[in-house]
Amino acid sequence: MNILNRFQNLVSDEILAVETLMRQQAEGFNIDLQAALDHLISSGGKRIRPNITLLVGRMLNGDMERLITLSAAIELLHTATLVHDDLIDGSLLRRGIPTLNSKWTPAATVLTGDFMFAKAAKLAAETNSVPVMKLFANTLGIIVNGEIVQMFSSHCQSDTDLYYKRIYSKTASLFETSTTAAAIICEANRTQKEYLRQFGYELGIAFQIIDDVLDFTSNQDKLGKPVGGDLRLGLITLPAILYFEQYKDDILTKEFFQHDCNPPIEILEKLILNIRNSSAIKNSFDKANSHIEFCLKALHHLPIGIERDALEELACFVTQRNI
């Protein structure tokens, strides 16, 4: 059993139930909408958020039916934000699979995302927990505000604080909600809830840092888009921030900022290659690993057992994955 399988196998039946529940949300509605939801769910990722929620829930002996409902709500919310993101960014592929907006009109894509928000909210309400509902709605607000800030703020900023704020909005907030909401459903005590919040937060931060590293170190086939995609959009992530700090007097660095983060393509390509081969990659990994350490520390305050072992492996997987 490899690292990947361990934490997934433990809740694999529940993950299937989560996917079924997600698909069921379009039942009885428009047939094109059903097809869209099916496409999105079939092409959909590692299910890392539901895995976390379900493992935390099992660790705390929670009601699995409510935890499955919660997990479906979280994954549907996540998928809905990706639908609108891809539309806004004009992305044609995600994980190598055509995005909804590459096949549908912008109007249909906006409405499909809206429908998924509605169904995510419905599922969150079906956990029958008002605190979960509040957490859920707040998290959506944080995610969307993060995107708006990114859209309106002057681009081309190499700033660690801004970067951390952005990845909190984008990723860590929903990881935090995945663990905290599970803790609420399981009626965990205050201390456990706080450790679980920390676990989710640190894991989410590490996850996004690694995503940003992979954007430089992976290849086009695995990414489903060109290497260095963020930098090509003028978006400066941790590997680039660390590189620019180290090579601030370098000619490429200077040219990049002189062109307001939108230099001629040959400069961009060289820069991406340089970042890829620089110590900024290892330094970013080290940052991610330090967040994983915090994450594991928080985990050690939670009940011993196979679920906690699986969550530990899941956390380690986050920095070891290559996609």
Burial 193-221 (b: 16+ CB within 10 A, else e): bebbbbbbbbbbbbbbbbbbbbbbbbeee
Query: In this complex, which beta carbon is closest to a second copy, that of residue 81 or of residue 158?
Result: 81
CA-nearest of 277, 235, 237, 271 to 256 is 271
Q: How far is the CB of 154 from a second copy (least distance, A)?
A: 12
CB of residue 252 to a second copy, shortest distance in Å: 30
Provide the terminal-to-terminal Cα distance of the chain, rounded to the nearest Å.
19
Confirm if 120 and 83 have CB atoms less than 8 A apart: no
187 in the Ramachandran plot: left (φ > 0), alpha (ψ -120 to 50) or beta?
Answer: left
Nearer Cβ to a second copy (90/226): 90
Beta carbon of residue 85, minimum distance to a second copy (angstroms, whole number): 10
Shortest reach from residue 79's CB to a second copy, in Å? 14
How buried is residue 228: exposed, middle or buried, by Cβ count under 10 Å (0-12/13-18/19+)? buried
Minimum gap (Å) between residue 1 Cβ and a second copy: 39
Distances (CA, A) of 177 to 70, 185, 201: 10, 12, 8
Alpha helices, DSSP H, located in 126-155: 130-152
- Phi, psi at residue 281, to the nearest 5°? -70, -50
Residue 261 beta carbon to a second copy: minimum distance, rounded to whole angstroms: 18
Instruction: State which residue, 8 or 109, has the beta carbon closest to a second copy.
Output: 109
How many angstroms from the chain centroid is the CA of residue 284? Answer: 17
Tokens (6 digits) for 89: 């960014």
- Contact positions vs a second copy (CB under 8 A): 29-33, 84, 87-88, 106-108, 110-115, 117-119, 121-122, 124-126, 128-130, 133-134, 136-138, 140-141, 144-145, 147-149, 151-152
Instruction: Determine phi and psi for 93, rounding to 5 degrees.
Output: -130, 145
- Complex with a second copy: residue 47 or 84, whichever CB lies closer: 84
- Whose CA is closest to 260, among 151, 153, 156? 156
In the complex, what is the shortest distance from the CB of residue 91 to a second copy, in angstroms, rounded to a whole number?
Answer: 12
Nearer Cβ to a second copy, position 106 or 226?
106
Nearer to a second copy, 7 or 117 (CB): 117
- Residue placing its CB nearer to a second copy in the complex, 134 or 297: 134
State in angstroms the smallest separation of the CB of 191 from a second copy: 25
- Rounded distance between C-alpha atoms, residue 268 and residue 273, angstroms: 9
Q: Using the 8-state DSSP alphabet, how is residue 261 labeled? A: T
| Residue 7 vs 104, nearer CB to a second copy | 104
| Closer Cβ to a second copy, 89 or 245, answer by number | 89
Rg (CA), the chain: 20
Least distance from a second copy to the Cβ atom of residue 157, Å: 15
Distance CA 45, CA 74 (A): 14
